[in-house]
Structure 1
Amino acid sequence: MVGEDGHGAGLWPSIPAVLRVMTGWFFLGIGLLNLAVEMDGGLTPAYLIFHVVLALGGMLLLTRHRIAPSRAGYLIAGPVAPAGLVLSALPVTQRCCLAAYPERRGFPYPFLGTGDGPHVDAKYLIIDVIFWGCAGLLLLSAVTLVERRLPERRTPVDLSHYRGHAEPRAYAATPDRTAENVGGLT
């Protein structure tokens, strides 16, 4: 059955790749642009960390096809986004945002305000989810690089009892090979 693109697969398999590339360029552009704009002295540590991680995450989204992580990489790096989001909401901070609430929680931007009743700011929550997702992608890439440097982990196979192919029997059937010519080789 021929799909919409004339090759049989349709357009649907390419949509995730296009979205990944567009998101990667967006994250890389926003990260680098905001770092360049704030180089004159407006960089706070949280702002710097956020935009460096965002730019690196964008770069990794653009090169995702070269990462090829294993199941262990996914198991190690997968929980980073939810765990980072939850753990960053535990300590109280005095950083920007949600100034009406005396207790602000979240990193890099406080998204949870407590003290006068709980309040979740959806905009900052989404920004923090993106940050922790990029941090998980960085960890996934690091785990993949470490796994590539490890020695092969397959169990050696004992081939001593293997009989092999027909070549040894063929050589035994014609012991004198002096008159053979194999494409100019003697």
Structure 2
Amino acid sequence: MTGEDAQDGLWPSIPAVLRVMTGWFLLGIGLLNLAVEVDGGLTGAYLVFHVVLALGGALLLTRHRLDPSRAGYLLATPIALAGLVAGALPTTTRCCLEAYPQRRGYPYPFLGTGAGAHVDVKYLVADLIFWGCVALLLLTVLTAVERRLPERRTPVDLSGLGGHAEGRAYAATPDRRDQNVGGLT
């Protein structure tokens, strides 16, 4: 095996390794933060964020069992992006960006407005990860629904084909003396 062949053999496994590593990271962070804050520090947004992170991590670990369709991807992606945008519309007084009177974003405010505008990149990344996990949850639900739907292929009328092909095959080759099929002549 040459070096180029060995290198080509690695490429298909790299996305799987990254998916599994990300899945364990998200599952671990989600469960660890829930366990640490279970003594009373859990707020609604914090609880939702870390439950979704843990579920997203678990789904990434079992992703090889899912086979979403293109329609599932086309539905889940815009819904998750719409959630990010819709979460940025209302103002909140929750944590983060205390210098700005109007804080926007869910689960973490990442956009501060009112006294200028400021985007906090670390909270934006946290929100993007959250909404990515929501998209993965939606994709899983859509895949489960698609599996339960009846098949939607167009039925093909086979009535005019006329039965088995053996009769036509024998008629096409009338002289079969030179054919050897292992003694089955």
Distance 2:152 2:100 in 1: 53
Which segments of structure 1 move beyond 2 Å, counting only runs of 4 or more? 1-6, 163-171
> When the two structures are superposed, what TM-score results if normalisation uses the length of structure 2?
0.85
SS in 2 for 1:158: coil
Pair 1:165–1:35, CA change in 2 (3 A)? same
Higher helix share: 2
Contact 1:3 1:10 survives alignment (8 Å): no
Distance 2:3 2:16 in 1: 18
Match of 1:48 in 2: 47
State, as a whole percentage, how many aligned pairs show the same letter: 78
Match of 2:37 in 1: 38
Distance 1:156 1:129 in 2: 43
Letter in 2 for 1:77: A
Over residues 70-92 of structure 1, what are the superposed CA-to-partner deviations in whole Å (9 max), with x where a residue is unaligned?
A: 01101110113322221111100
Match of 1:95 in 2: 94
SS in 1 for 2:8: coil
Root-mean-square deviation (Å): 2.0
Report the number of matched residues: 171
Pair 1:154–1:3, CA change in 2 (3 A)? farther
Contact 1:90 1:106 survives alignment (8 Å): yes
What displacement does 1:103 show?
0.4
Letter in 2 for 1:125: L
Over residues 120-154 of structure 1, what are the superposed CA-to-partner deviations in whole Å (9 max), with x where a residue is unaligned?
A: 00000000000000000000000000000111111
Over residues 151-182 of structure 1, what are the superposed CA-to-partner deviations in whole Å (9 max), with x where a residue is unaligned?
A: 111122111101233335699xxxxxxxxxxx
Distance 1:92 1:51 in 2: 22
Pair 1:15–1:169, CA change in 2 (3 A)? closer
Unaligned runs of 5+ in 2: 171-185
Pair 1:47–1:11, CA change in 2 (3 A)? same
Unaligned runs of 5+ in 1: 172-186
Match of 1:123 in 2: 122
